[in-house]
Amino acid sequence: MSLKLKPYEVISFHPCFLTKIPRLAPSRGKTSHRGIQQRQYVNCPRILTNRPLTTVRTLVRGSPRIMCSRPYSKPADTNMPQLSFSEGGLHRAVISFGSNLTKESRITNIESALKHIKDSGLQITKTSHLYETKPMYYDDQEAFLNGVCEVETTLPPLDLLDLLQGIESRLGRVRSIRNGPRTIDLDVLLYDNDHIKHDRLHVPHPLMLEREFVLRPLCDILPDLILPPSFSPNASTRSIRQHFESLTPKDPTMSSVTVMGIGSAHGHGGLIRSQDPNRRTLVMAILNATPDSFSNTKLSNFESSPSARRQHLDQIITAGLDILDIGGQSTRPGATFISAEEELARVMPWITAMRAQSCHAAIPISVDTFHSLVARESIRAGADIINDVSAGTLDDRMLATVAELGKTIILMHMRGNPQTMTTLTDYPEGVVTGVRQELAQRVKDALAAGIYPWRIILDPGIGFAKDEGQNLELLRHLHVLRKPPLDGIDDLSNFAWLVGTSRKGFIGKITDISEPDQRQYGTAATVIASIAGGADMVRVHDIYPMAQVVRMSDAIYRRRDSSYNTRPASADDHGAESDTSSFVLGDQQIDAAKNSKVK
């Protein structure tokens, strides 16, 4: 005998143990296959089973592990954003991930877990930024990196849980102290719009509304999502964003992070904490391995032998760089492109020389290129970052290549190419809005290609498809790009920002200095403006003087006074970097640094 149900009501079989999805279409009073009267199921949830379904009563009797049931009611507001089945009939779930063992391995652990998730047949549709967070509940442990992702899957909840726990085991998680240190932690936060209570799994996660490290990344991907009313306090219909905004107290030290490389010479763990008000601005040193750079300097004296290259690298590293940016293709206005093969011939000896010295192994290498072939071979040789002035527009394989190789990309705003960009300076809504909108589209394309948000750095492209006034406007309003827009659209506030103004033409015009290598003072003013506007990294030719400008600017705008000179790395918030390794130099080192210029 069948158990008949009224329209819009069904015993809520939470599919914790279930594997099959029969679609129950309405019929004209016919008894369905397997004995269920389908006309009673108009707009009802799917019933899932892993055994032949004879009657609903049989299913109830055969399911002792179901821990709760609830009536299904038609939502009062059908436009309310909810996590539901995808267009392809797959389940949507949200998975949280986190790691704090060890500080140097957290990124590797998280990205390995996400690769296992993809390789297991789940499709990751959205990924949040990564946030460095203080531990909760058990304080005697390292800081965590936390994030969330949305997936589409055919798996029912318990099978999904088993899959995630299997990944944890493969990555070396040992369950010892509750809420204690872990190599990787994977949790099912949400599953469709279900409220599941099972002896192994509660969804939505019962503690998610008190955890900033869950709500903040959820706001990145599903800010307007409404949780099941049966789960929300007082059956509220507040969105994820509203739950986050009402959370008190919030952790003022929590910050999104961006990956430069695994490890760091200066103690910052290879991460940029772009929302940390006391973060140190990083110095990216330019090494132009090209004879036609606008800076009018040549590398011929340093290309004669590997030993000469090593000596030059020692000098510029001593001067105080954090990242070395190697370029073999000039992108000055009007420059003629060279082939990828010729570009590789220029940059590879420098990458090889850098990586051959163990003392420099932890310094990230960036390669300034828009060729995907150059990017691929440079990464294989040891590069950590691809600095693409076209943000992937000049080579449609670039974004996919960087995603495949799991490295970080700098997306710079540019229109056209070096031959045409000086004519493409019309921004109907203003240059700041135009740059935001166009960079936001490049970010979407990078994410769609599979690059994670924490592996994207943005550059407003000073001097590229901008005139003098527009360059100055961007420097004045960089802080606007760094803040969430009022309408919430094209929000780039969680990304790290690089600004490159060094020796550029608009500085020469304003200061009336024609020789690029004599524009240090004008460059210094733009570096200060960049840091005041929120830049996380500045790209410079003259390392030693600009490192001092950065240090003083950080003292003014980032409150990094002289106490940071001797502070050990472990004493800084979340193990942030100590400045001493870059700037405490002996007399001979200082002399060498003053005399060295990055070419």
Report the 10 Å Cβ neighbour count for 224.
13
Three-class SS state of 224: coil
Rg of the Cα atoms in the chain: 27
* Strands (E) located in 138-194: 144-153, 185-191
How many alpha carbons lie under 13 Å from residue 306 in its C-beta half-sphere?
9
Q: What is the pTM of this model?
A: 0.82
Any long-range contacts for 333-337 (C-beta under 8 Å, 24+ apart)?
333/418, 333/421, 333/422, 333/505, 334/418, 334/419, 334/422, 335/292, 335/418, 335/419, 337/417, 337/418
**Cis peptide before 249, with omega less than 30 degrees from 0?**
yes
CB 198 within 8 Å of CB 159: no
Pick from 357, 404, 368, 533: nearest CA to 460: 533
β 123-127/144-153 pair status: antiparallel
Amino acid at 513: I
Catalytic residue of the set 436, 466, 482, 504: 504
CB 92 within 8 Å of CB 151: yes
CB 571 within 8 Å of CB 140: no
pLDDT in tens, the chain (599 residues): 433 333 333 333 333 333 333 333 333 443 333 333 332 222 333 333 333 333 433 333 343 333 333 333 333 444 556 676 666 679 999 999 999 887 778 999 999 999 999 999 999 999 999 999 987 666 666 888 999 999 999 999 999 999 999 999 999 877 666 666 889 999 999 999 999 999 999 999 888 998 999 999 999 999 999 988 888 777 678 899 999 999 988 998 899 999 998 554 444 458 999 999 999 999 999 999 987 555 544 555 455 688 888 889 999 999 999 999 999 998 877 778 899 999 999 999 999 999 998 888 889 999 999 999 999 999 999 999 999 999 999 999 999 999 999 999 999 999 999 889 999 999 999 999 999 999 999 999 999 999 999 999 999 999 999 999 999 999 999 999 999 998 888 999 999 999 999 999 999 999 999 999 999 999 999 999 999 999 999 999 999 999 999 999 999 999 998 888 766 544 344 333 434 333 333 334 445 444 544 44
CA distances from residue 46 to 18, 38, 41, 340, 479 in whole angstroms, order as listed: 12, 11, 9, 55, 49
Measured in residues, the chain has a length of 599
Helix axes 340-355, 372-381, angle to 10 degrees: 20
Neighbouring-strand partners of residue 186: 97
Query: 543: which 2 tokens?
Result: 């390392």
Cα 312–chain centre separation: 33
Rounded Cα distance, 35 and 548, in Å: 79
Amino acid at 160: L
Pick from 334, 327, 320, 287: nearest CA to 592: 320
Catalytic residue of the set 309, 482, 519, 539: 539
Query: 516: which 2 tokens?
Result: 């690029």
Rounded Cα distance, 21 and 48, in Å: 5
| Location of structure tokens 């004008």 | 522
Task: Examine the residue annotation and report whether 539 is marked as an active-site residue of this protein.
Answer: yes
Pick from 70, 185, 92: nearest CA to 136: 185
**Hey, what domains does the chain have and what are their CATH numbers?**
1-73 (no CATH), 91-246 (3.30.70.560), 279-595 (3.20.20.20)
CB 279 within 8 Å of CB 555: no
3-state class percentages of the chain: helix first, strand second, coil last, to nearest 5 = 35, 15, 50
CB 63 within 8 Å of CB 55: no
* C-alpha triplet 268, 271, 275: angle, nearest 5°: 105
Secondary element (H or E) of residue 410: strand 408-412
Rounded Cα distance, 302 and 370, in Å: 25
Rounded Cα distance, 271 and 263, in Å: 8
Query: 109: which 2 tokens?
Result: 């652990």
Q: Tell the burial category of 70 from Cβ atoms under 10 Å away from its Cβ (0-12, 13-18, 19+).
A: middle
Rounded Cα distance, 305 and 217, in Å: 49
Query: 133: which 2 tokens?
Result: 């967070």
